[in-house]
Structure formats: structure tokens, C-alpha cells
A and B are shown apart, each in its own frame.
Chain A
Amino acid sequence: MPVVIVDGQEIEIGADERLNCIEAARRAGKEIPHYCWHPGLSVVASCRMCLIETGQRDAATGKVSMVPKLVPGCQTPVKDGTVIVTESDLVKESRARVEEALLIDHPIDCPICDKAGECLLQDYHFEHGQAERRADLHAFTSRRRDVGPTVTLFVDRCIMCTRCVRFTREVSGEAELMVTSRGAKEEIDVFPGFPLDNKLAGNVVDLCPVGALGDKDFLYQQRVWFLKREANVCGGCAAGCSIHTEHNQDTVYRIKPRENMHVNKWWICDEGRYGWHHLHDPARLLEAGRRELTTSRHATPEFKAVEWSDVVTRLRDDLKAAGRLAVAVSPMLTVEEAWMLCAVARSIDPQAYLAVGHVPSTAADETFPGGFTIRGEKCPNRLGVAGVIALFDAAVHTWTDLVAHVREGHADAAWITAGYPTDPTSTPWIDAETAAAFAELKCLVVQDLFDSPLAKHATWRLPAAGFAERAGTWVNVAHRAQSFDKAIRAPAGVWPEGRLFWNMLGRRGLYDAVAVRHQIAESSATFAALAGEMPATGVDLRLQQLAST
């Protein structure tokens, strides 16, 4: 095994690993500061913050010969015997000088900068900079320029690391951003008439190590040090990107990608990034309601609020009284919720018809030059739900099957879980004609985020939880299961599905997704991999299944 010596500490690296000095030093617990280098982008070695001293230890004699000048850690690969010195005086002076140079033309307007608190320029300045500003020069002002519909550029804050430029060239592929002018007058810009407008554009804001690129959606909404972050999974499509939901007092402020080399690497799409606004939409259903029986089923729909504790018992009674039950298990539900729903349904009607709920989808998958793929299937857990249903029934029906089943009169009651983030201003997930199939049922339960044509026929209208309000496990299109906890509490009056099912199963205490997950893992080979502690990046269910067969 090759050995690398970092500040005198020997660490082993894999025989076929291709690491640069920054990555190797990180293994030894040493952080080499850097701006322009990013593992997902090409190496330009231009910020010069990662300058270090390197050398080579002779395998035979053990003698170390050092390179007589500083080298960029990002550009220098390590091999057996590479010596890295990250804390010599020469290195420290060089860092201080780069930091000083970067601040010459920087406006230092941290008090009004959105990045303050999570800014590398700030952090490195405190760690590596010098106390006194030796350049007695007028800094520029914070000139602001729009570069696209979602991103704005504070020109003078930029340190010209060109991460954003490389991202648009190498990952998103549209190459909207460029560098104009020369020397200290350099700026990031777009060509007139060609704004930064692609489906991955928001990532440039995450990449920006300083406050130059701002996300207009987040700009001036919240100071970053007030935000708490929860490791979540995006529910926007079947890719299941790992994200951080950043929130404060049960309000989400932004979504950031979370590094997961198995799924989304370092990126997320703008659809996911801005796909949290429905959580705080005033049109959301916020209370459980039961339509009071009138002589005419077609009278003005009037739902009367029902206490949740009553929902638990009365819902069961209503469905039991109606007879043959059909259940749509929404692909927005977690594996745990789906499993409990199936269990509840079968406890009401042992022959209950179980189907995967409506799977919203747009056009085909869209893959970008950097390999990132936005899935056409716009729900996070179709595979997981199908896997759960398979545990209860030999046949896994689809939503179309269920509609036909109801239309043909095989069911007396239906329980439709939905929870699709389509607010009433956009096209509802179900059209009036399909909804009409459910009109003649004795009892129809609709559990959804927003009103829909289906709710018109509902006996019970229950609010659903949004993605950041759920806890559990989703299985993405590549069979990777990722578990997560809720980021925020559901709005007052809303019981997340898991809590309702938990109570309907008569279980004690608060809904515990982890306990349910362990129970599922124990009882099925499909989900055996969900046992124990889940890694933050999830597990591949297929690998585990292969191993167990």
C-alpha cells in the first residue's frame, strides 16, 4: 500500500487511488485551504491558496528530498513516499499573502452579504490571514448584476476562482458564464441575451466560495447562522438526491445538495432546489374533515372538522362498514408509512385491494454532460412502495388497475393517499373524469396536500405531510434506500401519514420510523438491508438482496 507522509504523519492510501495532496492531507486530518479546486470540476490551480511544500521520500534510503518551491496541492498527485508539509512558515506566509491579495479588491461588506457565516473568504481570513490590511486602497463597491432568472452576481465580491464558469461548461453544459476583461479588472459575466438559465443553474451559488453569486430565492431571507440543517432526501423525482433542508422555526428557507457519490454527487437540480415552496403554501389542507351525510351526495361539499383522535377510530369504522376496500399507496409515502398503511388496510379488510398510487411523470429522463440526471418520474418512492405491497400481496397493482377495479364496481370503499406537491393553481394530479370513477363509492378517503377533483367525492378529506415533514425511507430509481428524519414539523392541524397509521395500528407512543424500519427489515428479504444504522448515503437494496440469496 502506498504511504503518504503528511506533516510527519504516515497514512496509507489505496493502491489504485488517484488522490491529490488536498485529498490525501484530509485523510490525515489536515485541511489544506482552497478556493478554486472542487472534486467535481477540472483542476485549474489558479487561486494559489492550496500552495504547500512537497517532497519525495526515497524508498531505499529513507531520505527526503523536497521540491525547492511551493506547489499547488490540488494539482499535485500523491504517490508512495510523497511528503506533504502543510504548516511550514513558507506555506503560512503564502496563504496569508493570497488571502491579503484576494481582499485588496473585495468590498468587505460582510454585514450586508448573504454569504457571511458560511464564507470561505471569511473563514480562511480568520484562520490564515493577517491582522493588518497593508493595502491602503479604495475597495470597490458591491456592484450587483443579474446573470439569470435565479442567480445574481455581486461583481466585486468575486475572487475569480471560476468554479461557476467551469460548472456551466463541464456539468450543466450550456456554458453561459464566462470571464471578461483581464487582470484585476476581470469579471464573471454572461453574454448579452444569453442569461444563466438552465435546470442546474442554482448549483453555481453553492459552488461560489464567497458571496459573489447569490440565489435570488434566498437572498436576504435569513441569516445563515439562524438556519438549522437536516439531512433529507429530495422528493421531486425518482433520482432521490441527497439534500440538506435548511430551516428555522419550522419554516424551510432553502435546499442545498448533500454530497452523495452514489446518487447526486454534489449537485441538485433547480426543480428540487426551489421545490419546497408548496410546504408553506396557504392553500394547503390543514385539517381533517368528514363530509356530513346528507340525503343528496351531490349537495355542496361541506366537510366538518374532526379531531385527529376521533379520526383514528371513526375512519376505521366507516371503512369497515362500507365493505370491500381498495387502497392507493402513494409513491410519495415512505417505505415505513406504506407498510403501515397496508397493514391498516388489511386489518380492516383482509382482502383489501392494494395498488401503487398515481405515479406522476413528465417526459423522459434528462441527463446533463456532467452525468447528472433529472428523472421523468416525479415521485421519490415508487420502487419502495411496490416492494412493500409485494410483501402483502402477490400482485402489485398500478393506479390504472385500481381505477379500473373501482370503475368495474369491485370496491365499496377506497383510500387514496396522494400528497403530490401540485397546488390548486397548476393542473391537479387527477382529472375530473378519472375522479368520477370514485363518485359512487360508499366511502372515499382522500389524503392529500391540496384540494383536487377527487376530494369533491370524498367522504373523508385528510391533510398529508410534505416531504420535509416526513420521516422514513425512500427507495430511488436505482434501488438505493435512503433514510431520513423530518426536518420541520407539519403545520398545526396536520398529522403526517405515519402518525395516523401508527395510531390506527394501535401502537403506543409517538410514531417511530426507525422502529418500523427495523421491523420491516426483519420480516422481509427485500428490505433486509434496512436493518441497523443506515449510512447517510443510503444502501443499495439489490446488493443486499444478492448477498442474501
Chain B
Amino acid sequence: MPPFKPVLLEAVGVPDGNTLASYKSRGGYAPLEKLLAEKQPGDVVEMVKSSGLRGRGGAGFSTGLKWTFLPKDHPGPIYLCINADESEPGTFNNRILMEDDPHQVIEGIIISAYATKASTAYIYLRYEYPRSWNRLQAAIDEAYAAGYLGKNIKGSGFALDIYLHRGAAAYICGEETGLIESLEGKRAWPRIKPPFPAIEGLFRKPTVVNNIETMACVAQIARRGVDWFKSIGVPADPNNPRDPGSYGPKLYCLSGHVEKPGCYEAPLGITVRELIDQFGGGVWKGRKAKAVIPGGISMGLMTESELDTPLDFAGPGKVGCLGLGTAAVVVIDETVSIVDFLHNSCRFFAHESCGQCTPCREGTSWSLRMLERIKAGKGRLKDLDLLLELGNTMGMMPGSTICGLADGAAWPIKNAIKKFRGEFEDSIKRTNPSGWMVTEPVPALQIVEAH
């Protein structure tokens, strides 16, 4: 494989790479002007659809296909929401893009808005990203001044306004309908679907919600062409008609116990081991990896023996993980207790569950309290079965919740207990030598508040 030259991250390390001048010197905005002059919105949708671009936000749904769900010839406004509420633990690829090359993102937004006939775009930015806020706002101001935003963009008659909205630090705002509710000024409780946002979204109007990295990909497809995009990545599996393939470059966030953590760009389909060895410089201090989170904590866990799994949209699912997610790879070395890991994971989801659906609200909190119990040396083997039952029954997939947050909470539980059950059992037996085998209800444990 020839060495891959970063495309999405080409501005990283370039002095003043976040400025308009720098972006234009690298060929930016020229594709936009050409596209506005030569192509109809429908052509742009077709272009993105044929590129096989799949959303980079986590679910991996085809971007072009999502755009076609908008009602045809809709008389009222259509909104474009850009999801920059990057709160999945371990994920920071959007942040790099927004801080180091905001114009690439903005060009992608303008192209996407043109394709979807949206004249207003909102960027929902995570609260904890002040630098992204500053740089994005500066870039938006520059783009307005240069005539890339506002009315009649470059004489095409197309108008677009971009508003930057800063959230208030809640994980659930990254769920697309939670984001929409929050943008409307309401409590970020995900909406029941249908109707999907493409039919009834922001302010009850047709809405597309896309990720920041998806926007950057759209800009690159416009600049380099569909064929270039399709030449990268993993083609569709001919034996699986439901696999649309994983094309294009992807930003991988590598963190945890590696020598060189960071955000790296690689073709989709790189294996976890390649990523750790080629980019991350191996596991920290020459240790062995015990487990790896493939794409943000909600995707579950891979064991050491599963590290040759390719990180494309289909790969992690083959080893029992939820999916590629945000491609945030967190390496956990052999010194870490999986019990501690799961406790931390459960604490996160108990804290971030929005509290709307009963199974998630109570399930995340119950699982945390069971882990508290285990860590306090009062665990019993039957707790593991209970945890597993919770993991198997909460979430959108079994149908017990409105959004996918509970699936994300369930997958680490399921993966950790299935793949590391021995370690859990050992830990429980060691810390609770007299009571690990009890199966009757035991007196309740007064547990210190976890958060």
C-alpha cells in the first residue's frame, strides 16, 4: 500500500492553516465556486450519493441517501444542522478539524446546504470547545467577508447563513433529535421517530443533521472527485447485499495506553493493530494491550486477539462490538482492571442518561450501583447475570428506548462481561470471599454517591 497522504488533516502543522488565505492557497473554495456555477443541487446529491460517503458521526448512514429523504419541492425552509457536540469519550476528530482547518468544514457545509436547498445552517458546538468556537466563528466571519456566506454567494443566487450554537455540555445533545430539541431551546430529550428529522426536524421543518467530519469529506469529494474518494477504503462485500462499503479517508482518534496518542488520518479499513503500531508507536511502555475500545466507549470492547479487525463500518460488528462509531480507539493495557473500566463506563452513562425512558434511566443507574457494589467488595456472581440481562434488554435494538444512548451503555457491559467474565468472577471471589456465591437477596448496601 503506498503511504497515505493526509487529506482531511492537510492543514495540521501548517502555520495559520486555519485562515481563509491558507485554505485558498491549498485549493479551497475553488471547487465550491465551480460547483455553484455548473451544478444543480440534485447533481450534488447524486455526486455525494455515488461517492458512497457514510456519515462520520457514529451510525455510518449514507450521507447522500439521507439527503434524498427530504421532501421534494418543499415550499418552506429546510435546515441543515451540523453536529459538533463531540462528546463520545475518546473522540476528538471534529475538534482537530474545527481548530486547524475550519474553512474545509465551512466549504463542506456550503456545498451540503446547496445540495439540500437549505438556506440556514446551525453548527451545534460542544460546550467544552472554546478554541473551536473562536476559530470557527473567525472563519465564518472571514467567509462572510469574502462572499462565501450571506446572500447571493458568488453570484449564484444561492444564500446561506451559518449560526454557531454552543451547547451546555450534555452527551445526549449529540443524538440528532436531542440536538434539535436543544437547539430549539428545550430540554434535550430525543424525539420519538417517526417522523424522522428529514420530514419534521428543527422547528418542525425538514432537517438534515450531519457530522463535522462528514462535511469535511463532502468538501474533499467536491475538490478531488468521486473516483478519488472511492479509490480509498474498503469496497462493498459482494456476499452481503446490505453492505454499502466503507469508502474514503477517516480520522482515527488514538488514545489510552499508546506511545503516541493523537488524531491520525488513514484509509477506512486499517486494522486496530496497524493503527497502534504504525501511528501510535505501539502500546505504552512496551506492554501488551488487554482490550481496545474500537470507536468510542459505547461501541464496546475488543480483546487483544481481535486487534486484527479492520476499522471499517462493518469490521467491529464482526467481533461483537456495536460498530465503528466515531473511530476513537482507546487502548487499555494489561495493568488495567476491566472491573474498573466497566465501572467508569457505567458511571459515564448513568450520569449522561437523559432520563426519558425508564429502561435507560433506571438501567444505567442500577448497573452503576451494581458495579459500585462489586468494587466495594460485596459483589456476587449473580450480579454478573443481572448486568448481562440489563445489557441485553436496554436500548433501541431490543426496542426498549427511544434513542441509542442505552445501546451505547449496554455494549460495554455486554462485551466486558462476555469477553472478560473470568476476570470479573476472580475479582468478585477475591474481594468477597464469604458472599460471592449468595443468590438470595441480601441487605441493601448503603453506597456512597458515585457522581
The chain A residues found within 8 Å of chain B, CB to CB, are 43-49, 51, 69-72, 75, 94, 97-98, 101-102, 104-105, 132-138, 159-160, 178-179, 181-186
Contacts and interface: CB of A to CB of B under 8 A. Distances in A.
20 contacts: A44-B189, A45-B192, A46-B189, A46-B356, A47-B357, A75-B192, A97-B359, A101-B359, A101-B361, A104-B365, A134-B386, A134-B441, A136-B441, A136-B443, A138-B446, A138-B447, A160-B355, A182-B172, A183-B350, A183-B355
Contact of B358 (A47, A135, A137, A138): A47
Contacts of B442: 136
Contacts of A138: 444-447
For this complex, into which size category does the number of interface residues on chain B fall? Answer: 35 or more
Given A105-B365, A182-B355, 10 more contacts: A44-B356, A48-B357, A48-B400, A71-B399, A72-B192, A98-B400, A105-B362, A184-B355, A184-B364, A185-B355
Interface string B422-448: 000000000000000000011111110
B397 interface: yes
Contact of A137 (B172, B353, B366, B399): B366
A159 B358 contact: yes
B170 A182 contact: yes
Contacts of A51: 399-400
B67 to A, nearest CB: 26
Contacts of A179: 187, 355
B393 interface: yes
A104 B189 CA distance: 22
A137 to B, nearest CB: 5
Contact of B354 (A98, A102, A104, A182): A182
Given A136-B441, A136-B444, A48 B350 contact: no
Given A45-B192, A135-B366, A183-B352, A101 B358 contact: yes
B353 A183 contact: yes
Nearest to A97: B393
Contacts of A71: 399
Contacts of A135: 366, 369
Nearest to A102: B358
A293 to B, nearest CB: 73
Contacts of B353: 182-184
A12 B287 CA distance: 68
Contacts of A159: 358
Contacts of B223: none
Nearest to A43: B192
Nearest to A183: B353
B398 interface: yes
A13 B307 CA distance: 56
B444 A48 contact: no
Contact of A70 (B351, B398, B446): B398
Contacts of B359: 48, 97-98, 101
A193 B390 CA distance: 40
The winner among A71, A97, A183, A186 for most chain B CB atoms within 10 A is A183
A69 B170 CA distance: 28
A115 B451 CA distance: 32
A478 to B, nearest CB: 33
B363 interface: yes
Contacts of B363: 101
B7 interface: no
A412 B92 CA distance: 95
A46 B357 CA distance: 4
Given A94-B393, A132-B441, A183-B350, A102 B362 contact: yes
The winner among B170, B356, B358 for most chain A CB atoms within 10 A is B358
Contacts of A182: 170, 172, 351-355
B199 interface: no
A187 B443 CA distance: 27
A49 B362 CA distance: 13
B398 A48 contact: no
A186 B192 contact: no
A184 B444 contact: no
Interface in B321-363: 350-359, 361-363
A25 to B, nearest CB: 17
B355 A101 contact: no
B402 interface: yes
Given A46-B358, A183-B365, A69 B397 contact: yes
A182 B173 CA distance: 13
A271 to B, nearest CB: 32
Nearest to A186: B355
A181 B172 CA distance: 13
The winner among B359, B362, B363, B365 for most chain A CB atoms within 10 A is B362
B361 A186 contact: yes
B400 A104 contact: no
Nearest to B364: A183
A160 B355 CA distance: 8
A101 B361 CA distance: 9
B354 A183 contact: yes
B18 interface: no
A526 B441 CA distance: 69
B401 interface: yes
A105 B187 CA distance: 23
A184 B358 contact: no
A101 B401 contact: no
A44 B447 contact: no
Interface in B189-248: 189, 192
A98 B358 contact: yes
Contacts of B366: 101, 104, 135, 137
Nearest to B393: A97
Contacts of B350: 183-184
The 6 closest A-B pairs by CB, nearest first: A184-B365, A69-B399, A101-B362, A70-B399, A183-B353, A186-B355
Contacts of A46: 189, 356-358, 402
A94 to B, nearest CB: 7
Nearest to A67: B399
Contacts of A178: 187
A94 B400 contact: yes
Contacts of A160: 355-356, 358, 361
Interface string B169-182: 01010000000000
Nearest to B400: A48
B441 A133 contact: yes
Contacts of B398: 69-70
B131 to A, nearest CB: 27
A138 B398 CA distance: 28
The winner among B355, B359, B445 for most chain A CB atoms within 10 A is B355
